[in-house]
């Protein structure tokens, strides 16, 4: 390859979802609305779990972290895409591109690991309900979360370090709306054999491990539920897993639908569709899925929204009211007298004997 084609570049150009000018306003409005719904919805879930002591359980601890990860995952790609549409600039710095790639794979893989940990939590709650709080104590929950963060960080860091060592051709345009592994590798002027092997190995391990954990957990859950005699008991057991199963089906259903099909000229479009679904749409839907099918979460959200929407107290409600007995003022004067002291009547308790 000629030397001029191997010049070290300082930026890439993102192709985006569409290059047609008439589509840009629609795309900006659509993704801005989606992003705002994602941020507000997941923020409400997080605040509801923090403020309601009834939700301080392992299940909602993991849901809290899932909402946080969904917010970060969506924030990895959507703000940059909105900025590109608004400024009509598709450029992204080389360092910014690697940072975006690292963050997307970190939060995306962490999302899968959290779904697997939540499946383990449901397994313990349904199959071993009497001993649930022993293995799912705060210490164990923290270890499960910490281990997931370490593994996913290691994977993303290795991908990023290997990508940083490659040389890219000048004037490189990424056939995607964000910096992803495979589109970047296609633009490299270097030998990418090592990168491809690492991607394949991590894809097998990081893809099958959470899925295997989820499948094994639910096989055991279904086996236990089917042995319950009452229909009401079966429904109650399944209802605790409904939201989680819905999110798992959406996530892995999208992956299977896109990546199990043979490679075709439209594969890049399928990659974009899968990234949009997993990185933008599902994070937006998760708050609705977990709140609409969960009575405790709906109650907590109702309390939270009620606190936020409650009117400010009137000035007279901020003042303590002191009832003066009739024996001191006479039988005819027994009205309520507001006392404008921060401590109310208690601040005057020491002075009443002196009067």
Helix-helix angle 94-127:58-87, to 10 degrees: 160
Per-residue tokens: 269? 């479009």
Residue 73 tokens, joined: 């995952």
Quick check: helix, strand or coil at residue 40?
Answer: helix
pLDDT by position in tens, the chain (length 355): 444 445 567 788 898 888 788 888 999 999 999 999 999 999 999 999 999 888 999 999 999 999 999 999 999 999 999 999 988 888 899 999 999 999 999 999 999 999 999 999 999 999 888 888 888 999 999 999 999 999 999 999 999 999 999 888 766 788 889 999 988 888 888 888 999 999 999 989 998 999 999 999 999 999 988 888 788 878 877 778 888 999 999 998 888 877 666 655 556 778 888 889 999 999 999 999 988 778 888 888 888 888 877 655 555 554 444 444 544 445 444 444 444 444 443 443 444 444 4
CA distance 148 to 203: 16
Q: What sign has the CA pseudo-torsion 162, 164, 168, 171? A: positive
- The answer for residues whose C-beta is within 8 angstroms of residue 49's C-beta and 6 or more apart is 55, 56, 60, 61, 63, 64, 300
The sign of the torsion formed by the CA atoms of 33, 36, 42, 47 equals: negative
Q: Give the Å distances, CA to CA, from 180 to 13, 109, 232, 337.
A: 13, 13, 47, 70
| 308's tokens | 């936020």
Q: Which H or E run includes 338?
A: strand 336-339
In this structure, the dihedral spanned by the alpha carbons of residues 82, 168, 201 and 100, taken in order and rounded to 10 degrees, is -20
| Alpha carbons 258 and 252: distance in angstroms, whole number | 10
Q: Cα 51 to the chain's mean position, in Å?
A: 18
Q: How far, in Å, CA of 179 to CA of 98, rounded?
A: 7
Q: Which two tokens stand for residue 124?
A: 């313990």
Spatial separation of the C-alpha atoms in residues 159 and 301, rounded to whole Å: 39
State pTM to two decimals: 0.81
């Amino acid at each position: 390859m000629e030397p001029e084609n191997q010049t070290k570049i300082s930026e890439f150009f993102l192709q985006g979802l569409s290059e047609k000018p008439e589509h840009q306003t629609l795309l900006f409005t659509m993704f801005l609305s989606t992003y705002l719904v994602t941020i507000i919805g997941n923020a409400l879930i997080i605040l509801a779990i923090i403020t309601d002591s009834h939700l301080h359980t392992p299940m909602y601890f993991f849901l809290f972290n899932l909402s946080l990860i969904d917010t970060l995952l969506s924030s990895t790609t959507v703000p940059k895409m909105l900025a590109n549409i608004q400024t009509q600039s598709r450029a992204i710095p080389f360092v910014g591109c690697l940072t975006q790639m690292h963050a997307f794979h970190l939060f995306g893989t962490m999302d899968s690991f959290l779904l697997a940990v939540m499946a383990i939590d449901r397994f313990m709650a349904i199959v071993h309900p009497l001993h649930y709080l022993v293995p799912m104590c705060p210490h164990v929950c923290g270890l499960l979360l910490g281990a997931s963060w370490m593994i996913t960080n290691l994977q993303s860091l290795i991908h990023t370090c290997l990508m940083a060592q490659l040389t890219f051709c000048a004037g490189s345009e990424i056939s995607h709306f964000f910096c992803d592994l495979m589109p970047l590798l296609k633009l490299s002027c270097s030998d990418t054999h090592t990168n491809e092997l690492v991607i394949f190995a991590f894809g097998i391990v990081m893809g099958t491990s959470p899925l295997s954990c989820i499948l094994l957990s639910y096989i055991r859950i279904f086996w236990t539920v089917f042995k319950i005699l009452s229909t009401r008991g079966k429904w109650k057991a399944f209802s605790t897993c409904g939201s989680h199963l819905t999110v798992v089906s959406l996530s892995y259903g999208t992956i299977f639908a896109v990546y199990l099909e043979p490679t075709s000229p439209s594969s890049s479009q399928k990659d974009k569709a899968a990234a949009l679904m997993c990185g933008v749409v599902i994070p937006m839907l998760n708050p609705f899925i977990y709140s609409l099918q969960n009575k405790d979460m709906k109650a907590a959200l109702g309390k939270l929204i009620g606190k936020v929407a409650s009117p400010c107290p009137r000035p007279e409600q901020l003042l303590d009211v002191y009832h003066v007995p009739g024996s001191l003022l006479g039988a005819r004067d027994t009205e309520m007298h507001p006392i404008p002291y921060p401590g109310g009547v208690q601040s005057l308790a020491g002075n009443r004997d002196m009067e």
